Structure 1
């Protein structure tokens, strides 16, 4: 049975997070990020231009940018385009040929394309640890916390979280950086992990204070998000320097926690450091 066509739903918010049984503190120097199965094939079941998936991708991109800035290693899982019947085994019974029938969709979605210093693990089963060096790589680098993002929450992500727990690696399931077949299954996976194998968090909980303290601090937030090596002046259009809509959407989501009126449209209307600092430096009402 193939994966069905999927419908968008409301992503979990803070009030949807189940009671966590553990209160592990997030330690960036002990953490790694996992971007799980964010391949064109698996994302395509929501169709093109799905707002829910745009937000999930934006949240993952925000976490990845944060990890890059703080020397947190980034891992990806990706199923190979060629899988023998022996390799797929019972997956064929459960899901049919899967990605092997659409090899052109094997790559990770464009907005999350791995960098040269990222690690892409070949994915064979639900758990990212199965037939992979992930556990060894984490432990050799002194990492015992795993931030889990991607698809599908109640299948590979939940299984990977539980497998991590059984290997004494603390999983952090990021509720709004995951997607699933349905909201019920998404929430079920969060409840399971929160009560049995990890800690469930929102993207914002893993990030530093959302509002920069100065224009210079805002510049430090923006520069790593640009593709151009040249630094923009404060009144330059940041889009001309490679700032894309996904990262702009993620910034809007972070800053909206303090200034509730900030949204993507407001940032895109005048995408300059000067204009954004004017928005952010207002008195909070």
Structure 2
């Protein structure tokens, strides 16, 4: 009855996507972003070092960052850790006790942790709309499009897309921002949505649509982020001293250098997922192989300093 351990597989690529039956165009002013069930409990059924999960999370982080810049509301679903038999209903017959036996894993994964501006809805059934205010919230915000990413593609994500369609809300599935039990299940979900109830797209194509860019692609987004956060990609330079890193991060977060404790979490100074992704893009442009998860694991000056020294071989 429990969820099986999941073997890694490669995420679908653009060439593998089904042909959409509709030619819907994403309108950022009419959309919300749904990050579906990205709780540690569900992620722990994958291998801890699964590349597909790291790639999926990075894609969702990129999508969320661009969505936030465009003013698209970000909505999460998360199943509660304590559910009575009545509340859980028939889910128990298929999946057992679920989070009831793993309450310590209820949190949304750190890489995608919601911020104060995001909405987290309690998830009771496969569909994100069931027993939740999601539809009412979208009506209040005058939104009729929903971008869906997360896990699992052929269960909650696909069901939420179908439910949205039946409410005259256009669902956009993020093909490489989803994960599933198997590649076959994943592709089945994409085919179902493309044929019957929605539009299937890649992360990059949705980012293009949200940011209303042309073929300049991701470079333009990086430039927008760099401008917004006053990024100078040569600021730190090749000498990765604590002093230079403090100065860089203080400028980046717009706080006085003297206020930063090198052992304190930078989240307390205003660091969020958008800024982490911006730093990732900045340092990658300098040739550093840094990813979101590495920065998020220990978001302190001393933690990042050691990471940068190790990357530079110093």
Asked if 1:247 corresponds to 2:251, the answer is: no
Which residue of the partner structure matches residue 175 of structure 2?
Answer: 175
Q: Structure 1 residue runs of 4+, over 6 Å off?
A: 242-246
1:210 alignment partner, one of 210, 217, 240: 217
Q: CA deviation at 1:223?
A: 6.0
Cα distance between partner residues in 1 of 2:290 and 2:172: 36
Q: 1:64 to 1:110 in 2, by over 3 A?
A: same
Q: CA deviation at 1:236?
A: 2.2
Contact 1:154 1:188 in 2 (8 A): yes
* Structure 1: segments with no counterpart, 5+ residues: 253-263, 272-285
Cα distance between partner residues in 2 of 1:201 and 1:219: 24
Q: CA deviation at 1:53?
A: 0.2
Contact 2:115 2:272 in 1 (8 A): no
Q: CA deviation at 1:162?
A: 0.1
Root mean square deviation of aligned Cα: 2.7
* Structure 2: segments with no counterpart, 5+ residues: 209-215, 238-244, 250-270, 292-314
Which residue of the partner structure matches residue 76 of structure 1?
Answer: 76
Cα distance between partner residues in 1 of 2:195 and 2:93: 30
Q: CA deviation at 1:211?
A: 4.4
Contact 1:54 1:246 in 2 (8 A): no
Matched residue SS, 1:268? coil
Which residue of the partner structure matches residue 15 of structure 2?
Answer: 15
Cα distance between partner residues in 2 of 1:18 and 1:218: 29
Contact 2:67 2:73 in 1 (8 A): yes
Residues 105-116 of structure 1 aligned to structure 2 (within 5 Å): 105-116=105-116
Matched residue SS, 2:45? helix
Bigger shift: residues 113-122 or 204-213? 204-213
Q: CA deviation at 1:140?
A: 1.3
Asked if 1:152 corresponds to 2:152, the answer is: yes
Contact 1:58 1:250 in 2 (8 A): no
Q: If the length of structure 2 is used for normalisation, what is the TM-score?
A: 0.74
Based on CA coordinates, which of the two structures has the bigger radius of gyration? 2
Which residue of the partner structure matches residue 28 of structure 1?
Answer: 28
Cα distance between partner residues in 2 of 1:205 and 1:6: 28
Q: 1:105 to 1:165 in 2, by over 3 A?
A: same
Contact 1:59 1:250 in 2 (8 A): no
Asked if 1:268 corresponds to 2:288, the answer is: yes
Cα distance between partner residues in 2 of 1:156 and 1:270: 32
Cα distance between partner residues in 1 of 2:167 and 2:141: 15
Q: CA deviation at 1:221?
A: 2.3
Q: 1:250 to 1:30 in 2, by over 3 A?
A: farther
Cα distance between partner residues in 2 of 1:194 and 1:75: 23
